[in-house]
């Protein structure tokens, strides 16, 4: 009988101990899977998704060129020997500045013509004065006075002609002809050397001077893309020399002719060049953008992550609620991506350091 009573008592004691232990153990707090720290919040930037007009982009290669309306070609007007050159390729020159000096016998001939013209005017003026005096004394006729007047007009016309030549070409006394800059700008071409024999019939200019505060980007459009390009389309220009700088302009002219060598057509984009960084003959890429006449959700391209053969964005609600969301890109451009599915307008995505947050959540 005593053994029968002992067993239930032992079981009852164990149950009471278990209950007591259960009642004394505190409840575990709810665990948070991921929380963005204050330091990480400082390293990221956000963008609110919005609906925007879809832009397409075509990329072409081309070159920077000077504006033909602001380009001056300097040809020699006399033959001779180059005695000195005052400028080099790439130098900036002011209008009227001496570029080179040429010693020429032709300049001496111009000086002789000037002296002869001055002499002829002086003689004609004297003859006219004598003819008028004789006419006043009735020693000659009115016809003689008229002939003297015509001779003076002729002499003055010749003097005016040679004076204009001196003025146009900045001729001085002696045998030296100074080649001067007709406009202010940069020397973009130079075809002259010291002690070189110069002829006035050469086909190439000695110097080319260009103002480059505004330049052209001439892009080569392939035949398959000609129908896609129109005047007025926006264009972004990038150069090899300054890859981080983007110059923006619009197509203002399409040259409706196919180059037989490249089988392409040129288009022109005018670019402001206030800092004068762009130089003629620089290679460049021209990215032409145009609207597709429809709207889609868009986000910065830096917000889109490609992993596991899929595209993702990090949707941010608060520091405790960050979602890795799969999206379907419709078109990706260097700075913006248009999405056909996966994201709604008004949702906020992480842009800067999105990959850092993606790795922290998904590794």
Please list, residue by residue across 353-362, b when 16 or more beta carbons sit within 10 angstroms of its beta carbon and e when fewer do.
ebbebbeeee
Q: What angle do CA 236, 242, 243 make, to 5 degrees?
A: 60
Task: Provide the 10 A C-beta neighbour count for residue 78.
Answer: 20
Per-residue pLDDT tens over the stretch 83-138: 999 999 989 999 989 999 998 888 878 888 888 999 999 999 999 999 998 888 88
pLDDT, position 21: 42
Output the six-digit token pair for 153: 């007009």
- Per DSSP, the three-state class of 90 is coil
- Looking at the chain, the whole-number percentage of residues with pLDDT higher than 70 is 91
In CATH terms, is domain 74-101+177-210 a member of 1.10.10.10?
no
At 141, the pLDDT band (50, 70, 90 cuts) reads confident
> What does the pLDDT average to over 159-176?
82
Average pLDDT of every residue of the chain: 86
Q: What is the rounded CA–CA span in Å between residue 128 and residue 147?
A: 9
At 185, the pLDDT band (50, 70, 90 cuts) reads very high
Q: What is the rounded CA–CA span in Å between residue 105 and residue 197?
A: 13
> What does the pLDDT average to over 277-305?
92
- Per DSSP, the three-state class of 189 is strand
pLDDT, position 33: 61
> Of residues 109 and 338, which shows the higher confidence score?
338
The CATH superfamily of 59-68+211-293 is: Efflux pump adaptor protein, beta barrel domain (2.40.30.170)
pLDDT, position 237: 93
Q: What is the rounded CA–CA span in Å between residue 36 and residue 29?
A: 19
> How far is the CA of 103 from the CAs of 171, 181, 191, 267, 362, in angstroms?
12, 18, 17, 44, 80
Please check whether residue 80 is in contact with residue 198, taking contact to mean a CB–CB distance below 8 angstroms: yes
Please list, residue by residue across 202-221, b when 16 or more beta carbons sit within 10 angstroms of its beta carbon and e when fewer do.
eeebbbbbbbbebbbbbbbb
Please check whether residue 208 is in contact with residue 188, taking contact to mean a CB–CB distance below 8 angstroms: yes
Say yes or no to pLDDT of 28 above 50: no
Please check whether residue 288 is in contact with residue 58, taking contact to mean a CB–CB distance below 8 angstroms: yes
pLDDT, position 296: 95
Output the six-digit token pair for 118: 């001055």
pLDDT, position 289: 87
Per-residue pLDDT tens over the stretch 196-252: 988 877 888 999 999 999 999 999 999 889 988 999 999 999 998 898 899 999 999
> What does the pLDDT average to over 133-145?
87
> How far is the CA of 254 from the CAs of 49, 79, 239, 356, in angstroms?
36, 41, 21, 45
> How far is the CA of 120 from the CAs of 113, 128, 143, 155, 162, in angstroms?
10, 12, 21, 6, 13
In CATH terms, is domain 105-174 a member of 1.10.10?
no
Residue 76 phi, psi dihedral angles, 5° rounding: -75, 145
pLDDT, position 209: 94
Beta strand 247-258 with 264-272: parallel, antiparallel or unpaired?
Answer: antiparallel
Distance of CA 208 to the CA centre of its chain: 20
- Per DSSP, the three-state class of 158 is helix
In CATH terms, is domain 38-53+294-362 a member of 2.40.420.20?
yes
User: Which one-letter DSSP state was computed for residue 89?
Assistant: T
pLDDT, position 344: 94
Q: Where are the domains of the chain?
A: 38-53+294-362, 59-68+211-293, 74-101+177-210, 105-174
pLDDT, position 170: 74
């Amino acid at each position: 009988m005593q053994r029968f009573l002992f067993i239930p008592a032992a079981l009852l004691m164990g149950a009471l101990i278990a209950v007591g232990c259960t009642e004394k153990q505190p409840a575990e707090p709810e665990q948070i899977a991921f929380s963005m720290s204050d330091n990480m919040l400082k390293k990221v930037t956000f963008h609110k998704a919005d609906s925007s007009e879809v832009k397409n982009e075509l990329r072409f290669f081309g070159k920077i060129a000077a504006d033909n309306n602001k380009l001056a070609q300097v040809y020699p007007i006399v033959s001779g020997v180059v005695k000195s050159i005052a400028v080099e390729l790439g130098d900036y020159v002011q209008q009227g500045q001496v570029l080179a000096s040429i010693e020429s016998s032709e300049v001496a001939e111009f000086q002789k013509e000037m002296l002869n013209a001055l002499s002829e005017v002086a003689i004609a003026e004297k003859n006219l004065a004598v003819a008028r005096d004789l006419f006043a004394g009735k020693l000659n006729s009115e016809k003689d006075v008229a002939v003297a007047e015509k001779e003076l007009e002729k002499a003055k016309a010749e003097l005016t002609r040679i004076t204009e030549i001196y003025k146009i070409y900045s001729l001085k006394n002696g045998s030296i002809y100074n080649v001067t800059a007709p406009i202010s700008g940069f020397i973009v071409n130079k075809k002259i050397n010291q002690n070189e024999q110069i002829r006035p019939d050469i086909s190439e200019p000695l110097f080319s001077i260009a103002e480059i505060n505004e330049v052209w980007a001439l892009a080569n459009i392939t035949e398959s893309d000609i129908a896609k390009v129109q005047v007025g389309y926006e264009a972004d220009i990038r150069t090899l020399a300054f890859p981080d700088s983007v110059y923006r302009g619009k197509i203002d002219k399409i040259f409706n002719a196919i180059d037989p060598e490249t089988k392409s057509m040129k288009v022109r984009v005018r670019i402001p060049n206030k800092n004068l960084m762009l130089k003629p003959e620089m290679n460049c890429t021209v990215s032409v953008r145009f609207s597709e006449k429809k709207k889609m959700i868009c986000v910065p391209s830096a917000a889109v992550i490609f992993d596991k053969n899929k595209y993702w964005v990090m949707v941010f609600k608060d520091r405790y609620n960050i979602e890795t969301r799969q999206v379907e890109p419709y078109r990706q451009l260097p700075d913006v991506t248009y999405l056909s599915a996966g994201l709604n307008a008004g949702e906020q995505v992480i842009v800067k350091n999105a990959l850092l947050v993606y790795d922290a959540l998904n590794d």
